[in-house]
A and B are shown apart, each in its own frame.
Chain A
Amino acid sequence: MDYAFYIAAAAALAATLRAITASHAVHALLYFIVSLLAVAVIFLLLGAHFAAALEVIVYAGAIMVLFIFVVMMLNPGPRSVQRERHWLRPRIWAGPAVLAAVLAAELVYFAATGAGRSAGAGQVEPAEVGLALFGPYLLGVEMASVVLLAGLVGAYHLGWHLGRRPGGRETGEGEA
């Protein structure tokens, strides 16, 4: 069991590292999906089956597909890959990497000094999650729905304006 956890954690970290350093957008996305799947495995190991399913379906499925669509629409060619390589020189990423490393170290420090209990007190059934969601967290659910609605409206609004050429006159709603 322990080994499964450590393997999954190592996979997640390695995949994420590649995701943020990849030059090609599609490669980065694929690495990130691998990372998400690894995290889903960790969820499974922790007994959070429902969360693991959501991680695969919603995160790795729906959200990443959105990214893929956008990458297709932008169609980054070899030039942009060259450019990304050019941008990713140590001189540029060294400083931010150190800062992020300090942050990670701090987080790790807090995690490591926490209570020395083992996780996995038992599996948490999806039914329990559903009861909690629509019981004490009902207000939170409503707020999340409002956030989603706002995201929907915002995305639609921005998409509407994509129909207009920069600096050009509005051509009517049909084109939007």
Chain B
Amino acid sequence: MSGIPLQSGLVVAGLLFGLGAAGVLFRRDLLFILLSLEIMTNAAGLAFVTAGALWGRPDGQVLFIFILAVAAAEVAVGLALVLWLYRRTGTLDVDRANRLRG
């Protein structure tokens, strides 16, 4: 139980976050972008839990729960938008959904 250095947990979190960010940047499909966003929030949750474990305090997990709530809300709205965009334009290509008016 005691052998995991703190840095390792945080390093993993940082790498996951970077992967998520890369996904947001180079995917064109809105669904994948949302997925990448989930990866990023998950990475943030990992960082919190790791830090909380370091001090043996529950605060890290509390914040993880908040992140969970935010992620749930985000996914609900985001997926509704994905459907809406698909119905409106017939595609999920965000580069074609760049009309700012209506």
Direct A–B contact present (CB less than 8 angstroms): yes
- A-side residues, CB < 8 A to B, are 1-2, 5-6, 9, 12-13, 16-17, 19-20, 25, 28-29, 32, 35-36, 39, 42-43, 45-48, 50-51, 54-55, 58-59, 62-63, 66-67, 70-71, 73-74, 80, 84, 87-88, 92-93, 95-97, 99-101, 103-108, 110-112, 114-122, 124, 128-129, 131-133, 137, 140, 144-145, 147-148, 150-152, 154-155, 158-159, 161-162, 166
Task: Give the chain A neighbours of B52 by CB distance below 8 A.
Answer: 48, 124
Verify A122–B62 contact, CB threshold 8 A: no
Task: Give the chain B neighbours of A71 by CB distance below 8 A.
Answer: 31
Verify B65–A54 contact, CB threshold 8 A: yes
- B-side residues, CB < 8 A to A, are 1-23, 25-29, 31-32, 34-36, 38-39, 42, 45-46, 49-50, 52-62, 64-66, 68-77, 79-84, 86-88, 92
Q: A2-B4, A119-B54 are in contact. Are A48 and B72 (CB under 8 A)?
A: no
Verify A103–B17 contact, CB threshold 8 A: yes
Verify A25–B62 contact, CB threshold 8 A: no
